[in-house]
Structure 1
Amino acid sequence: MPYALHEGRVIFFAHVPKAGGSSVEDHMAARFGPLGLLDRGWMQGWIDGRWRDGGLAVSPQHLAAADLRGLLPRTPDAAFAVVRDPVARIVSEYRFQARASRPLSRPRLARLGFDVWLRATLAAARRDPRVFDNHIRPQSDIVPEGARVFRLEDGLDAVAEWLDQVAGPPPQGQTPGGRIGHALRSTGAPIRPGRAELALIARFYARDYARFGYPPPDLDAAPARTQGGLAPRPGWRARLWRGAGAAARPVAPLLGPGVAAAWRRGRI
């Protein structure tokens, strides 16, 4: 949950993972200088053994609103957040984990297919909401009441303009407002979650849909089964992963407790 100190004022950013937060942090750092509650090396440290130290099991930039007590220098003068459609956000997270190089258990779980990954991951998040550094956590848990809310789908330039309104004119040489570069792009085959997967997403993120005004997914227009996803290299390995995914689908929720436990030990 990064914050900037500017001319005696505390400007607080509730960083929702997979909603353009790193781009906003870069802009804030360029505008205001080093940010508090930001550690981009946290994940690597967690995998390398920081999990043994205990603590919140979450990076400082991804804390939930309830975890902030005592961590800010004082009550923020301004607070804001960027949110994202829950379906797009969870699909983006799936792609993110599929590309992970460490630990190997992440891309391996993703290779079982989006439907298996989703069921296992949501079950893990029910067991421990902090799993995957709060990347799965509902946005409503992260965005404090009273914060100004922007939507990633509307672009991030409005965030830069709002920051100028809150903080006053930028220093000489900086363009007011400016642009916060973040492209809503993805690589690989498109993913269209199936009807059952959309229903799971709608239930898990029901508070996000209600609070942030996103329309719930249209189940009638959804395919019967998830379409697209990872495109493994042709050959026996691809056939093996497809077979493993089909076998795991009925029991995927049972993987959740193991995924949550592996997260707490830096193994996934």
Structure 2
Amino acid sequence: MPIFKIGKKIFYFAHVPKCGGSNVEVALMNSGVKLSFIDRQYWKKAPDKWGRSSPQHILSKQFYYLFDDKLFDEIFCVVRDPVNRFLSAYNHNRKRIGRNVSFDKFIKSIEKRKDYHSLKYDNHFVPASRIVPNNSKIFYLEDGLDSISYWLKEITDTDIDLSFDNRNTRDYNVHKSKKKINVFFKKIFFPQSPTLSDIGESEINRIKSLYQEDYERFDFQR
């Protein structure tokens, strides 16, 4: 959840994992904005990590413990449909999950845990409603990240280029390769992740049940 300043305004970006947050951070840095409370090398620092999650992925209850929200002029976030976010997070963490753990088995493991494996996967599977502070301005990934650019321009008169494609919207299959031999070995040694069209209605409904609070708070259609 990076903190940054543009002009006289102090911003808090509630980074919900797998909702385009890294793209927002890169765009800000490319525009010369300095970010604080962020660790983009978090996974590489064990056992010297600052905490049990990266600073940019802290929960809202931790945010309120650490900060007075009146410190910030603007608090904002990007959210997305929970099913698509779950698939993206599953793809991102596939090697950590283990290639022998089926999609169904992993969903079951989430269903059994109230913490959504928060510590193990850096809050990637925690509902967005537990990450986003109550008074946040909400943007939706489905609407494109350009809406953030327009908003920042309006309130700070600063141009932040967020027009590039969001990598979180790609298909969640084994990486494509021009060489058939590479495709063969990747299919054997690298775990594959499903796309939305690969999973059944029952699995989709189970994911929706897990993220009921997100559907209610952010008014996603179920």
Return the TM-score normalized by structure 1: 0.67
The answer to whether the 8 A contact 1:27-1:180 is kept is: no
How many Å apart are 1:164 and its aligned residue?
1.4
- Kept after mapping to 2: 8 A contact 1:23/1:180: no
CA drift of 1:180 comes to 3.7
| Higher alpha-carbon deviation: 10-19 or 199-208 | 199-208
Q: Equivalents in 1 of 2:128, 2:80: separation in Å?
A: 9
Return the match for 1:95 from 72, 91, 94: 91
Q: CA deviation at 1:71?
A: 4.5
CA distance in structure 1 between the aligned counterparts of 2:209 and 2:60, rounded to whole angstroms: 21
For the residue of structure 2 that corresponds to 1:198, the secondary structure is: helix
Over residues 130-178 of structure 1, what are the superposed CA-to-partner deviations in whole Å (9 max), with x where a residue is unaligned?
A: 44111011100111112111111111011111111222x22xxxxx453
Q: Secondary structure at the match of 2:93?
A: helix
Matched, 1:5 2:5: yes
2:145 aligned with 1:178: no
Measured in 2, the distance between the counterparts of 1:148 and 1:74 equals: 14
1:114 positional shift:
1.0
Opposite residue 97 of structure 1, the aligned amino acid is: N
Matched, 1:142 2:131: yes
Deviation at 1:210, TM superposition (A): 0.7
Alignment-derived partner of residue 37 in structure 1: 37
User: Judging changes above 3 Å, is the alpha-carbon distance between structure 1 residues 77 and 97 closer, same or farther for their aligned structure 2 residues?
Assistant: same
2:202 counterpart of 1:206: no
Q: 1:86: Cα distance to partner?
A: 0.4
Shift of 1:123: 2.8
Q: Distance in 1 between matches of 2:48 and 2:36?
A: 20
Q: CA deviation at 1:122?
A: 4.0
- Please name the residue that 2:76 is paired with: 80
Give the equivalent residue in structure 2 for 1:247.
none
Residue type at the aligned position of 1:152 = L
Q: What is the identity, as a one-letter code, of the residue corresponding to 2:211?
A: Y
- Could you tell me whether the CA contact under 8 Å between 2:87 and 2:195 is conserved in 1? no
Question: Could you tell me which amino acid in structure 2 is paired with residue 50 of structure 1?
Answer: D
User: CA–CA distance in 2 between the matches of 1:158 and 1:38?
Assistant: 23
- Using the TM superposition, give the Cα deviation of residue 72 of structure 1 relative to its aligned residue in structure 2, in angstroms: 7.0
Shift of 1:3: 1.4
Distance between the aligned counterparts of 2:203 and 2:138, measured in 1? 27
Measured after TM superposition, the shift of residue 107 of structure 1 is: 4.6
**5+ residue gaps, structure 2:** 174-193
**For the pair shown, which has the larger CA radius of gyration, 1 or 2?**
1
The CA deviation at 1:41 is 0.9
CA RMSD after TM alignment:
2.3
Q: Within 5 Å, which residues of 2 pair with 1:101-120?
A: 106-108=96-98, 110-120=99-109
Cα 1:127–1:33 shift into 2, 3 Å: closer
Aligned counterparts of 1:71 and 1:24: Cα–Cα separation in 2: 22
2:24–2:162 Cα contact (<8 Å) kept: no
Which residue of structure 1 lines up, in the alignment, with residue 149 of structure 2?
Answer: 160
Structure 2: which amino acid aligns with 1:113?
Answer: S
Corresponding letter in the other structure for 2:71: T
Letter in 2 for 1:60: P
Q: Which amino acid aligns with 1:203?
A: S
| Secondary structure of residue in 1 paired with 2:5 | strand
SS at match of 1:146: coil
Alpha-carbon separation, structure 2, partners of 1:96 and 1:128: 14
Structure-2 change in CA distance of 1:2 and 1:81 (3 Å): same
Deviating above 4 A after TM superposition, structure 1's stretches of 4 or more consecutive aligned residues are: 71-74
CA spacing shift, 1:178–1:115, aligned 2, 3 Å? same
